[in-house]
C-alpha cells in the first residue's frame, strides 16, 4: 500500500530478489506506469533500496478500415463495397510490449493505454475477401503523453488482368 504521496515501505524483508506489481485500477483515468512491470528488486542486508515508478498519461491509437472499390468515371467517389470486413487482427508493438485486437463489425479498432514512444501497427490480411488487398499493412507512430492518433487502413479491390487468347 502507498500513502497519499505514493510512497511505500516494506520493512523487515528477508534478503533476496522480489518482483513487485502495481494495482493500476487505483490510478486516475488514462494514467499508466511509464515502464511496464513487474519490477524486480534485489534486497541486500542492512541496505535500504530506493525504488521509483514514474506514472505518465497513456496514449491511444484509433483506427478505421476504409474499403475502396473502382473509381466512378470522372468522379473521385468510389463505388460502394457490399462485403463486410470485420475481425481482422491488428497488432500494436513497441520494443517491450505487444497488443492485439480484432476490428469491430463497423471497421473500427483502438489501442488504449499505450505508453509514449514508438509503436508499429501491423494489420493482418486474414479475413479480407478474395479480390481485395491491403494498400499498406505496416504503420509507425511516435506517441507523446496523452496523445490520440487516428489512422485509416485502406483496403482496395485488386486489379484483375484479363488476357485475351487470339487463337485456340
- What's residue 68's pLDDT? 80
Average pLDDT over residues 26-47: 88
At 19, the pLDDT band (50, 70, 90 cuts) reads very high
Residues 119-136: pLDDT tens digits? 999 999 998 888 888 999
55 pLDDT higher than 50: yes
Where is average pLDDT lowest: 31-35, 69-73, 124-128, 160-164?
Answer: 69-73
Residues 38-52: pLDDT tens digits? 999 999 988 888 888
Task: Match 476490428 to its residue by C-alpha cell.
Answer: 103
Of residues 8 and 17, the one with the higher pLDDT is: 17
Model's pTM, two decimal places? 0.77
What CATH superfamily is the domain 58-157? Immunoglobulins (2.60.40.10)
Q: What is the 3 state secondary structure string of the chain?
A: CCCCCCCCCCCCCCCEEEEECCCHHHCCCCEEECCCCCEEEEECCCCCCCCCCCEEECEEEEEEEEEECCECCCCCCECCCCCCCCCCEEEEECCCCEEEEECCCCCEEEEEEECCEEEEEEECCCCCCCCEEECCCEEEEEECCCCEEEEEEEEEECCCCCCCCCCC
- Domain boundaries, given as residue ranges, for the chain: 16-56, 58-157
Residues 59-114: pLDDT tens digits? 999 999 988 875 555 555 554 555 567 789 999 999 999 999 999 988 899 999 99
Beta bridge partners of 25: none
Q: Which of 2-6, 121-125, 158-162 has the highest mean pLDDT?
A: 121-125
- What's residue 48's pLDDT? 87
Tell me if 59 sits within 8 A of 150, measured CB to CB.
Answer: no
**Phi and psi angles of residue 25, each rounded to the nearest 5 degrees, phi first:** -70, -15
33 pLDDT higher than 70: yes
Of 88, 84, 83, the closest CA to residue 126 belongs to: 88
Of 142, 116, 119, 118, the closest CA to residue 55 belongs to: 116
- What's residue 79's pLDDT? 47
Task: Match 510490449 to its residue by C-alpha cell.
Answer: 97
Amino acid at each position: 500500500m502507498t500513502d497519499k504521496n505514493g510512497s511505500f515501505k516494506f520493512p523487515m524483508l528477508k534478503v533476496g530478489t522480489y518482483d513487485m506489481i502495481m494495482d493500476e485500477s487505483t490510478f486516475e483515468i488514462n494514467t499508466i506506469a511509464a515502464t511496464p512491470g513487474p519490477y524486480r528488486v534485489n534486497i541486500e542486508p542492512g541496505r535500504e533500496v530506493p525504488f521509483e515508478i514514474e506514472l505518465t498519461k497513456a496514449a491511444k491509437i484509433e483506427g478505421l478500415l476504409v474499403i475502396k472499390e473502382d473509381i466512378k468515371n470522372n468522379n473521385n467517389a468510389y463505388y460502394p463495397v457490399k462485403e463486410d470486413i470485420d475481425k481482422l487482427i491488428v497488432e500494436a508493438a513497441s520494443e517491450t510490449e505487444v497488443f492485439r485486437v480484432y476490428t469491430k463489425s463497423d471497421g473500427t479498432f483502438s489501442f488504449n493505454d499505450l505508453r509514449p514512444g514508438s509503436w508499429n501497427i501491423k494489420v493482418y490480411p486474414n479475413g479480407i475477401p478474395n479480390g481485395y488487398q491491403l494498400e499498406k499493412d505496416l504503420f509507425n507512430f511516435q506517441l507523446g503523453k496523452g496523445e490520440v492518433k487516428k489512422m485509416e487502413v485502406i483496403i482496395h479491390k485488386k486489379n484483375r488482368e484479363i488476357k485475351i487468347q487470339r487463337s485456340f
